[in-house]
Amino acid sequence: MIKNYLDLDANKNNFMRIWGVSIFVIAVILLSLVSRYKLLGVVSRDMELFLIPWFSQIQNLGGLKSLAKQVGNYGIAYQTFIGLSTYITGNPLLAYKIFSIFFDYVLASIAGYLLFSMTKSKTEVLLLFSAILVSPVIMMNSSCWGQCDSIWSAFCLASIASILARRTCLAGVFYGVAIAFKLQAIFIFPFLIYVCFVRSLSPLKLLSVAFVAFVFLNLGGILSGRSLVDIMLIYVRQTGTYTQLSLNYPSFWCFFAPGQGNIVINPLNFRPMAMSLTVFLLFSFFYYAFKVRPNPSNGDLMLVLLISLQIILVFLPSMHERYGYLNEVVAIFVVFINIKLLFPCVLLHAITLSTYGAYLIGSSISLSILSALNIICLCVYIMFYFSILIQNRT
């Protein structure tokens, strides 16, 4: 752990050094706020083509009164937030971005809480909190792009922290909220079921509570006259929006389908095969992970989470570059489990920044090269995980 390299907690006479770290963290927070403020005026294509028109439409429909009909392709929870924000400000840039920026700090705080439950090191918590806030991926997603990935990821991480603490109902609440905000929260579903299996927890309880939380977050739409089936169909329609194998995400399928710009088209309808392969690889990984370590620690499980997310992103079809957001947060987290994982973390973020640059500023990238590097990251994580487990057994 990083604590072996920088341990302020172990020294009883470290008052000045603790103050030094505290000043450093305060400086990081101020720097992160200033950096985000400077990006508030950036208008991305998503903002121009989708988010701003949706805001205007919801505003014209009367704010929360708009919940009676579908605006855009987001879930009711996010549409409710937009409706509420129209009463506060008429500036859609501020409405979207400040909400997402707020959850940058919520996400970093939850990550710090989870790490402290494992290491009991305040120093590591402060460093992790700072690392997440200054990550260019985290910063650009919310303050430059205006996306809501920090929101659903924060609730996903809260669900993960709860399930690792064996608090199944609380994990279900957070997971239901995450799904209500964005369908991509389903990426952690296999991991949650795996944890239930290895920790002898009830997946039925988890899913039941998640469903109740999901319904609660959608009450605005239900009270406005929309049926639960209609609300569920929002997510079904989202899965059919894109038929391409990849949308600017460096996945395994970039090697096998011709590309148009940064979008890999789907001439042979590979999607069913891609989905089947993803399920097979996930099941195989979980099986061998359990076989090698049937009673994993929380640190082990965070590595399992990272690998499972990476498998999903690399092999599942129709992935956007933004879908790796939670994966990149977890990659930062596991560096504090073992400092040897710093290099793949940096490489993973460099890959993502390249794809962000291609979309936001039109920079040129090679998806094939980035895909190869992304797969190398996945292989490094898998080999590291099993090598550590095998060493511990011997």
Tokens of 243: 């038929």
Task: Give percent of the chain with pLDDT exceeding 90.
Answer: 71
How confident is residue 244, by pLDDT bands cut at 50, 70 and 90?
A: confident
**Mean pLDDT, residues 19-30 taken together:** 84
Give tens-digit pLDDT for 347-356: 999 999 999 9
Please give the angle made by the CA atoms of 263, 267 and 273, to the nearest 5 degrees.
95
Please give the angle made by the CA atoms of 244, 242 and 368, to the nearest 5 degrees.
30
| Nearest by Cα to 149 from 322, 320, 358 | 322
Residue 5 has pLDDT above 50, yes or no: no
Give tens-digit pLDDT for 53-106: 999 999 999 999 999 988 888 889 999 999 999 999 999 999 999 999 999 999
Task: Give percent of the chain with pLDDT exceeding 70.
Answer: 91
Please name the amino acid found at residue 103: F
Q: What is the mean pLDDT of the chain?
A: 90
Taken in order 212, 216, 221, 222, the sign of the CA dihedral is positive
pTM equals: 0.92
End-to-end Cα spacing for the chain? 20
